[in-house]
Structure 1
Amino acid sequence: MIIKKLVLRNFRVFQGTHEIELLPKNNKPIILFGGLNGSGKTSILTAIQLALYGKMAFDRVLTNQNYIDQLSALIYRNSETKESEKSASIELTFTYNQAGETSDFTVTRSWSLGHKDELFLSQNGKPLLELNYEQCQGFLNELIPNGVADLFFFDGEKIADLAEDESGKVLQTAVRRLFGLDIIEKLRNDLMIYLKRNAINTLDIKYQEILNQLEQEKNTYLKEAERLRTSAHAIYIQISGITDNIQKKERLFSAEGGAFALTKSQEKEKVNQLFKEKEILERAIRQEFDNTFPLSLAPKTLNRLFEQLQQEAELKQTQSFVTELNQFLKKLQTDMAFRSTSTAKIASEAIKDQLEVYLADKPSGKILLDVSERELGYYQKKVKIDANKSKEHFHELKDRLTVVENELEQASLNIQRAPEDEQWLELFSHIRQLDHERINKINENNALLEEAKKMLVLALDKTRQIQKIHDQMRSQYNDNNSIAYAKNSLALLEEYMASLTESRIQALEFNFLNSYKRLNRKENEQLTAKVNPMTFNVELIDSEGQFINRKSLSAGEKQIYAIAILEALGKTSGRQLPVIIDTPLGRLDSKHRDKLIKHYFPLAGKQVIILSTDTEIDENYFFNYLKNDISHSYQIQFNNKTYSSEIKNGYFWENSHKNKEVS
């Protein structure tokens, strides 16, 4: 996949329309964005994720209303924005190779204030109008699964967290996303067991009795709260299982053409309407053949006919004129015979000479058709006006007939894609049943948690009373039991994940070792890598077979270690996606920045989009290391007057540097 273009309209801090070219050119993979904090760099990453994944682009599961609220919050607005202009859109164009064939896809997601988004998809410039919203989103999810894309679209904090994390939790999260395990059991470490009273024997018997009573009441409330929370946790696990089952069923439903099945009846009705329209169009076309349309099929012949008719009309006028003039000359000659004057003879001869000259330029010949002027006008109207109108109407009917036939073909294909009713109704009904069951479980879980909260409030009240009696009485967490509980839960989760990911461990080890050796740049260092199948922790092994302690690595080596893990996870996913990194170098010193600048960014992928501040990729890195690998560079500038940002060509110092070179 290669992203070619991103178009933002009224999105977050970007007012109006901003079109950003992202297609790498001349084998230069890096597209560099520069901007100060708060200018809108992260909005670029957010826009790409939202365009592709919609509701799933957010970190948590959203209801439809929450999703609408989130979208509304992303619309650029100021005090001068009119109600009708409170809308936004994102357009993302990318290439994708599917089954050996590369296509250009354009995703357009638009929405207005307080309304759900609309989603449109086109392939190679042709809108996929046969796909509705759910079908478009399902198609995108199949192209680029959300869990896999998280390994390619990340910010600098992910790198820093992974580099500094020695517990393995950040790495575990990344691997779980790689394998699609996006529901992680939330371990609870707030199991509390209060220590026995200290120095209780030093208190008076009266206080001892009061304290014992309060302690018993408090423990009763705590036990009840714990019982309720344990029950709620069990239900939560059931909810997670039901949610997983729903997602599996929905994927199966989508794979079997469920989205098309839901619109099958509509497609059938559409086919009936299109057949009716086709009959009407064909009847209208036949009527045009019975009308003046055939006259438009022989324009040259009819033009010659009208030329002949026009010539005959002029010939008739000339003959009429000559006839009248001859009669006049006979009368004139008769008058001159009486007068016998030489002047009259001269005049008569002159008139005849002039008449011959005049007639030489006039048409001559025989009249073949003898059509009157009224008939000629009638024929001209039929051929030049009526026939042309009939021709235009014919082509309109023919074009519409082509559209109808194409729509008939597409609707028939959609009907063929849809499974038989018996095949999907049962599956759809099962999904509805599971969804209803999930809602009931969520309500039950919330009710139990609310009751547990009340018990904890009562227990807290008893604790306060105990503190008032004697400030030496206190409660504390039983660390040993809490840790044991957490470890047991984590071990179960790790065992479950290990059974699912065993087949990927070797590929992950291989990819990590290659990446680490390339980024580490230490020659003659014989290293191997081992991935713990229980914890997913990636460990380095030296030439003597000894595990290298993570704590012994320098800060830069830890960072390289983290980058190598992310690169290995991306390669293990098997997806050729762009790498998008937000604020990649914020925590690194100059030495380790050098290594990443030289050995990671130019080689991370065919397209590497970097969102940086001026202190991360500074003037030295830009001109001395990255310039030859940068295809496009942009600077995001925030305008304090309009509270909006605009995107300009050229990195921070690039334009001024070019001006210096010219001068």
Structure 2
Amino acid sequence: MKIDYLKIENYRQYKGPLYLKFSKDENKNFTIIKGTNGAGKTNFLNAITWCLYEKELHKNTGGAIYNDLLVNEIINGESFEVSVELGMTDSKNRNVTILRKLKFTKNDNKIYKDVFSDSQLSVRIIVNGNDKFLEHPELYIQKNLPEKIEGYFFFDGEKLEDYFDDNSGDNIKEAVFKISQINLFNNLNKHLISLERSINKDFKKLDTDFADFLEIKQKLNDKIRLNKKEIEESSFLLNKTKKDLKIVDEDLRKIDHSDKNLLDEQKQKLNIEIEKLDKREEKLDNDKKNLVIKYFPLILAYKPFKKFVELGSDLEEKGFIPPLYKKKFLETLMENEKCICGNELKLNSESYNKIQKLHELTFGVTDISEEINIELNNLKNEIKRIQRFSTKQKEYNAEIRDIRNQRIEKNEDLENVNFKLSQIDHDEIQRLIKRKNDLDDQKDKYVGKVAYSKNSIDFTSKELLNIEKKEIKVNNDSENALKLKKKLDFCKDAIIASESLKSKLIENIRNKIEKLTNDQFKKLMWKENFTMVKVDEYYNIDLVNKARNLVSPNDISAGERLALALSFVAALNQISGFDLPLIIDTPMGRLDKEIKTNIAKTLPNYVEGKQVVLLVTGEEYTSKFKSDIIECVGKEYEIRVFETDNGTESRIL
């Protein structure tokens, strides 16, 4: 279908009546509508979607749908209509007019919508020169311009990159199926299965044996279908889980929780080392206490012992210990008055007097010098023990000081580690790790479900084959049974063929989309950073760089992402089963100058045969862009804003 004209009256900033013709020339298939931001480009697009679906599907939909300037011009009690009329030519070259209007009334300086009706929609088709108004205009629109795929034909260029959000694969796959009308195969399969069951009912009426076979076969076939559906659903969920795992891994990588793990290890190690130091100090304190208890009596006796040793040393210096002779010995000589040599010692003799004098000078201690000497040596040994206690005590004190210094250092290190850990979002890491573990469990579950369902299909298929062999022997005896069996076999073969054709068509469409997207993207991107665009079976889109690594669209620049999205949407239009115009609002908002130039050069060829409407700003529609695309432009307009005392309106000139 192609748009012939658009007529707008009293819709938002377009007071009108505004009448705009579009270029339908195959060689000049572009219509350019230029306007500044806020002039009404997006509402021009909204006017079309409101006319078709009674919905303003694009941004800037705040405020009333009617024109403010008109409201200020009319008087109370006066009514007016908001209307948008779309003139088109369908695939049969018939003129089609789609009109939607909504009535309002002004009372008490307020605007009220007509309470007796919602907006009125009409579709008029001119057939053989006669007007034909359709009884169900909504059905015509949903069949020829379905709302579900509107966003791939009428869209905002600045929002194209939203196609690559986290759930883009699911959304894109659904859109591809709608656009390429793959879902028609589902309707075909439902019809064939319904027909199969209807034949089965006729079959059951023939004979009890037939009914038994049919019931068993039906159960086995239903089981196989359920297993196939389980494989499809589990495979889809498995792929989604893998995507989610990739996102979680990327989030964990961004947080760099490896640092957190290292810090946790350091913290654990420091706590263990501090605990060991605490235990060592406690042991040393106990040993030190036990040492004091052990040496306490000696410590108390240290001074007397030392005094005794000093006295002993004095006696040694004076020669009394060990003595040359004992005082008792001298007394014996004097008592016996006889020398040890045998000579007599007479009283008052010179020799006797000398011995007597010597006796007076000799201390009595000489008589116990041996005992004193023994005790003196014992005390010296005890003093040495006391000195060893002092040395040991100093060693304990030194080691305890060293331990305390080490603990201070360890505590400082621990405080530093705790500070670094405090800067890390532990809750987020734990959430991501838990999410990762949950996803790993989900992945294993879906892998198991797929494997189980495949094994179940193999086993059930063998059961079904055995039943069919037995059934053949019975059915050969019945002509009616054979006829019904042929019908059943046809339905079965048709279902298998339909599913096979659907799978092949899906793969062909995916390959074609991948190729078309590749071709266009390479033309738009002047830098050869990427070697190809890859579209997997679940429509997850990635780029392959020169190093052959996959690059997510979320990891490239905004300009590159927009160019990729534009390439992809153009590819969807190529494979679409709908011949609809392509209307793009702000197609090159974020693109670099070079990409804009490439779009101007390549887009006309890429959308050859399609009617294209570009709603552009002056920054987009530069003289360079205009000169590159001018040969394809059939119509060119400009939206201008006019200010009056009663309000503002936009006109297209």
With structure 2 as the length reference, what TM-score do the two structures score?
0.45
Higher Cα Rg, which structure:
2
